Amino acid sequence: MTGKQQPRLEAAGITKMFGGIRALNDISLEVLPKQIVGIIGPNGAGKTTTFNVITGAYRPSTGEVRLDGKAVTAEPSHLIARAGISRTFQNIRLFGDMTVWEHLLVAQPHSDFTLRRLLPTRWADPQAFRRAEEILEFLKLADVKDRIARSLPYGIQRRVEIARAISARPKLLLLDEPVAGMNHDEADDIRRLILTLRDSGLSILLIDHDMAFVMNLCDYLYVLDFGVMIAQGRPDQIRSNPVVLDAYLGHAT
């Protein structure tokens, strides 16, 4: 099913132990360029842990993470981010007293040793400024540009987090429960946004509980249960998979 295309992301044989607990047991997954891939599974299945391993927050006990064929396993998070992986968090993590605009500016990529970082952003890096403005428009955040991000309604905070993640110019975007706690209209906004991002060339790996949401959106799904990958396939294959119905829907109700 992968054809000959080089995957954007490959996680191969990942095991993650916490003390004696096997949070991830030999899981493998891949995301192709411009693909939207979902990870589903009940609470505590290991979905967020998978993200933490991919982004270098956790060192896997065994296994390898590759971005465009290059191993990035357990590299420092900032190097993985620079290599092209950005993420959002299940519990929104915005910068305390920064405005929306500052969130977009700070995440713009800069080389380490450049005078530009020391001069006022407005004059020093008009290009970064313009990119941030584009993202602001694109995510419909222009109205709240100068508001402190954390003071905004929940749904908008989620958009700010996505805006910050794409400001870092990733190739692969990881979204941890992007529509959790949103109403139907807000969730549909995010769904359309994710499709647009994919069309602009991003690969997307997302976690969600909401079956209908992922079924509608993803090209491919992985199902995790107690740290084990119990199924994978296209949404129509997953929908009718008895193992999934049993394990996942069994827990969920």
Partner 1 sequence: MMSTYYAGLLADVGILLLGALSVYIILATGQLSLGNAGFMGIGAYLTSYLTVTMGVPLTLALVIAAAASGAIGVIIGFPALRLRGIYLAMATLGFGEMVRSFFLNFDAMGGAGGFHGMRHVSLGYIWTWAAAILLLVAILEHSQIWLELRAVRDDETAAALVGLDTTTIKVGAFGFAAAVAAIAGGLFAHHHVYIEPGNFSFERSIDFVLAVILGGSTVGAGALVGALLLVMLPEHLRFLADWRFAVFGGLLIAMLLVRRQGILDRSLFRFFEFRRSA
Ligand X SMILES: Nc1ncnc2c1ncn2[C@@H]1O[C@H](COP(=O)(O)OP(=O)(O)O)[C@@H](O)[C@H]1O
Contact window for Mg ion (CB under 5 A) among 88-96, 152-160, 216-224, 245-253: 88-96
Note whether 192 binds partner 1 by CB under 8 A: no
- Per CB under 8 A, the list member of 4, 20, 69, 78 interacting with partner 1 is 78
Residue nearer to ligand X on the CB measure, 11 or 23: 23
Query: Contacts with Mg ion in 24-63 (CB under 5 A)?
Result: 47-48
- Footprint of partner 1 on residues 122-181 (CB under 8 A)? 122, 124-125, 128, 146, 164-165, 167-168
C-alpha 38/C-alpha 51 separation (Å) is 12
Residues between 23 and 52 that touch ligand X (CB under 6 A): 23, 41, 43-49
Among 59, 117, 130, 192, binds partner 1 (CB under 8 A): 117
- Write b or e for each residue in 11-44: b if 16 or more Cβ atoms lie within 10 A of its Cβ, otherwise e: bbebbbeeeeebbbbebebbbbbbbbbbbbbbee
Name the residue among 236, 168, 219 with its Cα closest to residue 34. 219
Binding of partner 1 by 121 (CB under 8 A): yes
* H/E segment holding residue 243: helix 242-244
Among positive and negative, which fits the CA dihedral 24, 85, 136, 211? negative
Residue nearest Mg ion, CB atom distance: 48
**Closer of 89 and 129 to Mg ion (Cβ):** 89
> Do residues 100 and 152 make contact, with C-beta atoms less than 8 angstroms apart?
yes
Neighbours of 119 (CB within 10 A): 11
The verdict on 252 binding ligand X (CB under 6 A) reads: no
In the set 90, 108, 121, 157, which binds Mg ion (CB under 5 A)?
90
The answer to whether 125 and 167 are in contact (CB under 8 A) is: no
Q: What residues have CB less than 8 Å from 130, skipping those under 6 apart?
A: none
Cβ closest to partner 1, residue 151 vs residue 216 = 151
Binding site for Mg ion (CB under 5 A): 47-48, 90
